[in-house]
Amino acid sequence: MTYLNIAEVDSAAVNLSHAYSDLCELVELPEASIEGVACHALRVGAPSADGRDCVVLIGGVHAREWGSCEILVDFAADLLEAYKSGSGLRYGGKSFTAAEVHALLNNVNVVVFPLVNPDGRRYSQTVEPMWRKNRDTANAPAGHGGDCVGVDINRNYDFLFDATKAFSPTAGVRVSSDPCDPQVYQGPYAFSEPETRNVRWLLEEGFPHTRWFVDVHSYSEDMLYVWGDDEDQSEDKSMNFLNPAYDGRRGLPGDTDYREYIPQDDFDSATALARSFTDGLREVRGTEYTPKSGFDLYPTCGTSDDYAFSRHFVDDKKEKVLAYTIEWGKEFQPPWADMEEIIKDVSAGLLQFCLSAAAVPR
């Protein structure tokens, strides 16, 4: 086996939904990609799923990070086979019992959206391996192609989208409003892209009882929790992304002028679950991933994890979602033999994360 192309990722999802029809539901996302590719997710869980707590896992957002799709497809397949056969799961030195797998899928919906950005992945696999964005041509200046094509899906969410207004001029936030930026062009407005609208639909319409969200990326061997715009603090509720009094002051490390508010209970839960992921992963073969905030990697805005967590601050009627970004491995496209080991690592981490999350009472 080697890396899957976009047709193979989709057929894997479809085939799993047929092979395990009593445990798995194929979910058609409401919008096709820019180039017309239909997108699918899988709901993995025992029947009688309505109202059940949910964890949403997405991947394939940045085109060049090929292994994210394979991680999520394999993870879904492992859960389904282990539940159906009544067996446990073993990844290297890390084992999970059949009872743990059954308890998870009997009580939680695991929603897997393995390929958010099919157009970008196809372009990366056939034309330009290091391509990151989607393939939206609508914003390219007249007569321009190349780097002027595409939007960075993971800068297109509705969280501090106007970086020029929100951040300190010296923050160095990793986002751009230039359509010809080859890496981090955010798009003309939040949710301008069908790919991000599909993720929003999963949280808003498809699975409104989502309590945990993980976006699978590479690379740096980290498990990132919120926030990404500034350092975390739990003392001053007024110091938050909704307060315009702090515009122009965000994004500087080590200062006291601005730090992003997170309730202490949420911070404790977020960091504990990040550690559960890294602990589970380490037991496979000793690989050390680091739990840390997104800001500790570099300052960002418009990202999926910050958006997912921020929703209940904007509207307290929405479910609170503890949100994360995994940065697996040490390169975007490792040799397949190495990727196979990374899949085991991250699968064990994800399963330990899901079990730990499901054990947390409401």
151 pLDDT above the threshold of 70: yes
> Is residue 67 domain-resident?
yes
Tens-place pLDDT, residues 68-124: 999 999 999 999 999 999 999 999 999 999 999 999 999 999 999 999 999 999 999
Q: pLDDT, tens digit, for every residue of 44-83? A: 999 876 789 999 999 999 999 999 999 999 999 999 999 9
Query: What interhelical angle do 98-107 and 336-358 show, nearest 10?
Result: 70
* Chain mean pLDDT for the chain: 97
Residue 279 inside a domain? The answer is: yes
Q: Is residue 165 part of a domain?
A: no
Residue 336: predicted pLDDT: 98
Range of the domain at 32: 6-127+195-240+259-358
pLDDT of residue 143: 81
Tell me, what's the pLDDT at 360?
Answer: 82
Using one digit for the tens of pLDDT, what is the confidence trace for 215-262?
999 999 999 999 999 999 999 999 999 999 999 999 999 999 999 999
For residues 204-215, one letter each, b for 16 or more C-beta atoms within 10 angstroms of the residue's C-beta and e for the rest, the string is eebbeebbbbbb
Q: How many domains does the chain have?
A: 1
Where residue 12 falls among pLDDT bands split at 50, 70, 90?
very high
Whether residue 106 lies inside any domain: the answer is: yes
Asked if the structure places residue 107 within a domain, the reply is yes
15 CB contacts (<8 Å, ≥6 apart)?
A: none
pLDDT at res. 49: 64
- The DSSP letter of residue 176 is B
Q: What is the CATH number of the domain that holds 20?
A: 3.40.630.10
* pLDDT band at residue 1 under the 50/70/90 scheme: confident
pLDDT per position as a tens digit, 281-297: 999 999 999 999 999 99
In whole angstroms, how far apart are CA 205 and each of 27, 193, 209, 269? Answer: 12, 17, 10, 25
Residue 121 is assigned to a structural domain of this protein: yes
Task: State whether residue 301 is helix, strand or coil.
Answer: coil
Inside any domain, residue 190:
no
CA distance 58 to 79: 16
Query: 27 in a domain, yes or no?
Result: yes
The model scores a pTM over 0.95:
yes
For 212, list phi and psi in degrees, rounded to 5.
-140, 145
- Provide mean pLDDT across the span 3-14: 98
